[in-house]
Each structure stands twice: as C-alpha cells, then as structure tokens.
Copies of this chain bind each other. A is one copy, B any other.
Amino acid sequence: MYNFNAGPSTLPKEVFEEASRAILNFSNTGLSILEVGHRTPAFESVMDEARSLVRELMNLDGDHEVLFLHGGASTQFMQVPMNLLNDKEVAAYTDTGVFASKALKEAKLFGHVEVVASSKDKNYTYLPKEFHVPATAKYLHVTSNNTIYGTQWKDMSMFEKFNVPVVADMSSDVLSRDMDFNKFDLIYAGAQKNVGAAGVNLVVINKNILGKVDRVLPTMMDYRQHVDNGSMLNTPPVFAVYVCMLTLKWLKENGGVPAIEKLNNAKATLFYDTLDSLPLFKGTVEKEDRSTMNAVFVMDNKELEKEFQDRCKQEGLYGVKGHRSVGGFRVSMYNALPLESVVVITEVMKDFANKKG
C-alpha cells in the first residue's frame, strides 16, 4: 500500500514496528505501553525525550517551551485567543482555508478579530501577497500550510516585518522544512501528519507572551499550568506521545529538518513536474503557492476522474481522493512518505494519461 492520506497519514515503518512491540512489552518492562503509569520513570523518559527532540530539531532557545497537549488543533483554535487576547484587543488573522477560517471564528469569542488577508474570494486557491497588520494587534495568526486546498506560505520569515507576535498553525507542515522556529511566539500542530498519531497536539510557546490576559483561565486551558507541570498536568495521551517520540527520533536519525526538507522538495518537484506535463490533470492552485505537503488536482472529465480513482485503488494507492470541498484528488506527501511512493503514483498518472489523453 502507498498511503497518500491527508491525515492521519503514513508514518515510518520502524515506528509502526516499534509501537506494535511496545503494546506487548514496553521498553522491557514486561508491561504494555497502554498500561504503564504515566508518572513512572519509564513513561516520564518518553515525555522528556519527545519534548527534547522537538527542542533539538527546531533549535529552540530558552524562552520556548514544548508541550504535548490533548485535543487536536481545533482545541488550539480557542485556547490561543483565550490565553493571548483580551476582550477589547485586536488579533490579526489570515483567512487562507477551512482551518484558518475555523481558527478566526473561535477567536471572535474572545476579542476583536481583524482579517488582514484572505483568499476566500477565489475559493482559497492562492495566498495573499501584500497585506497590512496593525501595530496594535496582539498577534498575527497564520496557517502555514492549507491541507484541504494545497497552498503553503513559502517564506515564513515574511511575517516578522509586522513586528507583532506570530502564532502559526503548522498542523500539516511542521518539521517539514527549515525555518527559524524561535521567531514564532506560538506554534501548534495536530500530530497526525508529520509528528505522530492522532490524539495529541504539539505546542511550542514563547513563555514571555503568557500571563497577560485579564480573564481567569480554566486550568486545562492555561498554557502556564501545562508548562509548570512539564506537560503532565493531567494524564497525557500516553501512547500518542510515545508514537510522537518514535517519529521524532526517526526524523533526527534521518538527518533532521534540513534533510527531510530536501527529500520533501524532491518529492514535490517530481510530483508537480509530472502533473504539469500531463494536460489531463489540472492543479487547482497558483503554482507559486503550491504546497510541498498536499498536491490538489482535478480532471475536466468527471468520468475519467472516477476511472482514475479506480485505477489508484487497483494499484494500492490509498487516500488520494480530494476533500469534498474541492473534489478531484489530493496527494499528501508528508515527511514519512517515501520518494518511492511518489515515483509510483507519477508512473500511474503517466500511464493513465497515455491511455486516456
């Protein structure tokens, strides 16, 4: 099987194998990873290792804390403004896709939201190039990669010029490319694409931005509580954190972020070059904004789309169906997807186009 699913998505084979073993016997304890106490040295070392691997892979400075939290990125949509935005203050949001739009909707419950850039006018098929962020904004929220539409901000340093804290939802491209992660005051990412399995959030936070809102925060929503408790405020999603640790270790052993970026670029180049060489298939977004993680394309002929879908199935190409809001196809090429999988799907596309084109 070649798994191009948009999330949950493929993970390294070694991770599956080690996780499978740990369910029967975790770290030679004679116990399953599912039954060990979370406040035991055996699990605490998993949590510590996962957090320090993120620190190392991102080259984080001492101001930044790493947390693994419950709830999925959708929980961060509310937790971010709850912690950072007072009722009468303004937060700047970019509206570049389904999840960006959901994030700004939640922020409106906690303060004023100014949508400083939007690509909604063209069904999110591009990223806005020029826009202004008011200096009074408490923070600017961006979605680094738009999973459903397949667009990705290419230069993540462009947000620095606005001189306001930058909060980035990196759910679908975190750790896929090198950047100065310390320039972000808050990064969050549902784990189920590049970090591990579904059921946990990676949150990287500059602790200096905390403690500045007036409202009293529920304990589980307060980032400071999680920081003070070493990401173990309550029982963590033990197994999901373990899978993150294994996946992060795999990333480090394979050269870290710079190496995976090269591989991701190679996969994306191969894919998009093939796509552009075959008139039967049409990419749906502006070329300059194309995501290295999620390639979205359609065909003019819906009958042929159906045939190509069936062909993918026959060839063991899983998860290529497009999101219902776009239709067509979506090929996700996260960190753990081998180059070989892209070779296979592009060969299938070429063969299909040859026969039908």
Contact = CB atoms under 8 A, between A and B. Distances in A.
A349 interface: no
Contacts of A20: 20-21, 23-24
A105 to B, nearest CB: 7
A219 interface: yes
A220 B82 CA distance: 13
Given A71-B75, A78-B219, A237 B234 contact: no
A9 B35 contact: yes
Contacts of A144: none
Size bracket, chain A contacts? 35 or more
Given A24-B17, A238-B198, A243-B34, A221 B71 contact: no
Nearest to A73: B234
Contacts of A234: 72-74
Contact of A11 (B9, B11, B34): B34
Contacts of A29: 1
Contacts of A327: none
Contact of A37 (B6, B36, B105, B200): B6
A82 B217 CA distance: 12
Contacts of A74: 219-220, 233-234
Nearest to A240: B199
A74 B219 CA distance: 8
Contacts of A197: 34, 238-239
